[in-house]
Structures are given as C-alpha cells and as structure tokens.
C-alpha cells in the first residue's frame, strides 16, 4: 500500500454540463494493485463511472441521437427495446432527459433491481416468460413497435452501437495508453458493440494489441462455430442451439447479435476464452474486497479471464480489462449470496466488546 505524502486535492473539471448526457464516457482506467496478477500489469476500464452506471449508457445515447438525426425518431414518440437491464437503464436515463416515453421488454429471470431502476427513471417494464429466453423479449419488443408505431431501438443490429464505441471507447483507450505499452484488451459481449467498436480502431492503429473475447463456459455460442439463423435485417429468427441459461447477466443472449457478427467475420479478436460463472462471481467479490472496485458478475467474469491471460502472457505484459457496470444491480443475484443483512458472529463480538448501544 502506498502511503499518501500529502492531502488529496481536486481541481474540478473546468466546465459545467448542459445535461447529464454530456457526462457519458471518459471513464477511468485503474491499475489493479492488491490482487496477484502473475507478473503482468492489469488495468480495468471502469464503465460504472458513466452516469447510469454502465457501458450501455454510450450506445443508449447514440441510438437515440442517431435516430433523431435521421428522422427515424419523432418528438414525443415512444421508444421500445428488449434488454437484460443495462441498456434499458441507459435508455431510461436518456429518454427521461430528452422527454421520450420508454417501454422496455425484459425476461422475468433478470434481477428485480434492474426493473426498479428503469421504473425509477420513468420507463414502463413489460416482463416476458423466462422460458422464452432473450428471443422472447426481443420478439415482444418488435411486436409492440409494429402494433403501436413505436421506435424500436434495435441495439443488437443498429450501426449506432459499435459506432459509438469506435468514436469514444476506443479513442479513450488510445489516449490513455498513448506512448505506453498495451498488450491485451479483454472483454465479454452482450450485443458485441464494445469489442467491434474497439477493434475497428485497435486493428488499424495498435495492431500489436491482442483482443481477447469471452463468453460463458456453458453457453459458448461463438465457440460452437454454429452460425446464427437470422433474417435479412440481421435479426435472429431462432435461439442458438449452444445456448444454456447462465449467471452472467448482460452477457450472451440466446442468439449471436448482428453487431457481434462483424467482429466474428472480420477476425476482430485473437482468442476466445470461456469462463465459468462462479469464477466471475468470485472475482467480482475480490475486486470489491481487495481493490475497492465495485463491478457486477460480467465485470468479474472479464477480470477472471484477464487473470487467465496474465498467467499465460510474457512477464511484464500490460492487460486492459473492460468492466461493464456496477455491482448494485446484482443485489438479488448469486453475487450477494453469503452477504448477510444482520450482524454475523464476528460483528456481534465487536459490538459486545463495549457495553453500550448493543443489538442482539
């Protein structure tokens, strides 16, 4: 632990913001100090610093603003989208600020915190049966858009998704590692926008940087080599045969998104490493308890893969791990199993060490 030599100070950002949407992006890259990294230097890019707490704030604002620019989204028109949570939360924030009604469709298997967050932002949340998986909520959103004339955000197909990561996320990485070593970038996928957008830039401007993609060990859609059935617009027409339910919420729906297909077709990743969900939970807990970095199961899973990369990489390698979101939207998931509400025995012992103000 490095001891501070003087009191910390801040200077302010040197600007004020016209809206919360102007605070999206420019998320910090943070070094991992206390968890063993096997001779490598590991950094995390903490997307929880976005205003609604996840990387999906980026695509949410760009989907809406690209549609505004093209005229596809009319003033006051309702926006509808299928989401496991983070995109819906990001869209709810954007739509609240811009004055668009939002309807989100979401399988009822995802954490209740996500529903409540979206409703807090003013969105309507329509639940779909978990047995119908991601494709069910996807088709429900499309049905609602067609029935009511709503704008379908289409996060899994729209060019606005990867485009914003090319324009912002990748550029931030380039700036933060300007003149410095960067051997690996590690990420999972939900829509595939992050890996596709980052790779468009890194393949051209930092071709020596290897890009590592991950997916759940029990739902290896990309790893199966089985092509996704989709229609002419890129939308999936059937669940992928390799899909199984997995605990890494936000990763890997039951189809390969069209946005990710670009990364597959263009060879935008150098290695595909699957990860067991329990390892993701463990690593997310360790990031919180040992580094003070709070992320969800998807972030923990990406970090677990980063540690695996570090074990195999030449000593001195520099690894950047994408952390998609914060951990607070996982309170009802396995991430918080074992985290009790009442005092445990150790806490009770501390309480009893003095005579006053005791409970229990």
In tens, the pLDDT along 211-238 reads 999 999 999 999 999 999 999 989 999 9
Active site residue 298: yes
Which one has a higher pLDDT value, 84 or 58? 58
Q: What DSSP assignment string belongs to 115-148?
A: HHHHHHTT-EEEEE-GGGHHHHHHHHHHHHHHHH
| Residue 273 confidence (pLDDT) | 98
State the catalytic residue, choosing from 54, 111, 154, 298: 298
Listed in sequence order, the DSSP H helices in 71-132 are 86-98, 112-120
Question: If pLDDT is split at 50, 70 and 90, which confidence band does 280 have?
Answer: very high
Q: Is the pLDDT of residue 164 over 70?
A: yes
Question: What is the structure's pLDDT at 174?
Answer: 98
| Of 56, 133, 140, 210, catalytic | 56
pLDDT band at 2 (very low <50, low <70, confident <90, very high): low
Burial class (CB in 10 A: 0-12, 13-18, 19+), 342: exposed
Stretch 124-140: mean pLDDT, rounded?
92
DSSP-derived letter for residue 21 is G
Q: How far is residue 32's CA from residue 15's CA, in Å, rounded to a whole number?
A: 30
301 is catalytic: no
Condensed to tens digits (0 to 9), the pLDDT of residues 6-52 reads: 999 999 999 999 999 999 999 999 999 999 999 999 999 999 999 99
pLDDT tens track for 89-101: 999 999 999 999 9
- Rounded to two decimals, the pTM is 0.94
pLDDT of residue 359: 86
Please report, for residues 307, 342, 354, the alpha-carbon distance to residue 357 in angstroms, rounded to integers and kept in the order given.
44, 16, 8
Percent of the chain past pLDDT 90, that is, above it, reads 93
Name which of 105-109, 159-163, 192-196, 240-244 the model is least confident about. 105-109
Characterize 43-79 residue by residue with b for buried, 16 or more Cβ atoms within 10 angstroms of its Cβ, and e for exposed: bbbbbbbbbbbbbbbbbbbbbbbbbeeeeebeeeebb
pLDDT above 70 covers what percent of the chain? Answer: 99
Cα-based distances in Å from 146 to 22, 85, 88, 143, 151: 32, 22, 19, 5, 9
Residue 75 has what pLDDT? 96
Domains of the chain with bracketed CATH: 20-49+169-336 (3.40.50.1100), 56-152 (3.40.50.1100)
| Residue at token pair 């980052």 | 198
């Amino acid at each position: 632990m490095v001891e501070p030599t003087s009191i910390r100070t801040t200077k302010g950002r040197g600007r004020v913001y016209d809206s919360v949407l102007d605070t999206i992006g420019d998320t910090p890259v943070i070094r991992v100090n206390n968890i063993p990294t096997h001779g490598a230097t590991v950094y995390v890019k903490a997307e929880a610093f976005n205003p609604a707490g996840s990387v999906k704030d980026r695509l949410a604002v760009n989907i809406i603003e690209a549609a505004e620019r093209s005229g596809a989204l009319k003033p006051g028109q309702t926006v509808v989208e299928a989401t496991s949570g983070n995109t819906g939360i990001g869209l709810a924030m954007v739509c609240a600020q811009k004055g668009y009604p939002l309807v989100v469709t979401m399988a009822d298997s995802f954490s209740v915190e996500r529903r409540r967050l979206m409703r807090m932002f003013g969105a309507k949340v329509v639940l779909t049966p978990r047995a119908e998986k991601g494709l069910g909520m996807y088709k429900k959103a499309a049905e609602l858009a067609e029935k009511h004339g709503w704008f379908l955000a289409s996060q899994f197909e729209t060019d606005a998704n990867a485009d914003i990561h090319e324009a912002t996320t990748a550029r931030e990485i380039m700036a933060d590692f300007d003149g410095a070593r960067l051997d690996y970038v590690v990420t999972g996928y939900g829509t595939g926008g992050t890996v596709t957008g980052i790779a468009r830039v890194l393949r051209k401007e930092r071709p020596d940087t290897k890009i590592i993609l991950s997916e759940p060990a029990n739902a290896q859609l990309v790893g199966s080599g089985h092509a996704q059935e989709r229609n002419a617009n890129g939308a999936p027409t059937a669940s992928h045969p390799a899909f199984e339910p997995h605990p890494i919420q936000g990763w890997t729906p039951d189809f390969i998104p069209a946005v990710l297909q670009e990364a597959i077709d263009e060879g935008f990743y150098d290695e595909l490493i699957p990860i067991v969900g329990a390892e993701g939970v463990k690593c997310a807990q360790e990031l919180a308890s040992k580094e003070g970095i709070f992320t969800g199961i998807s972030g923990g899973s990406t970090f677990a893969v980063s540690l695996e990369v570090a074990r195999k990489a030449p000593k001195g390698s520099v690894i950047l791990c994408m952390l998609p979101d914060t951990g607070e939207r996982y309170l009802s998931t396995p991430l918080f199993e074992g985290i009790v509400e009442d005092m445990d025995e150790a806490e009770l012992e501390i309480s009893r060490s003095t005579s006053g103000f005791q409970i229990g």
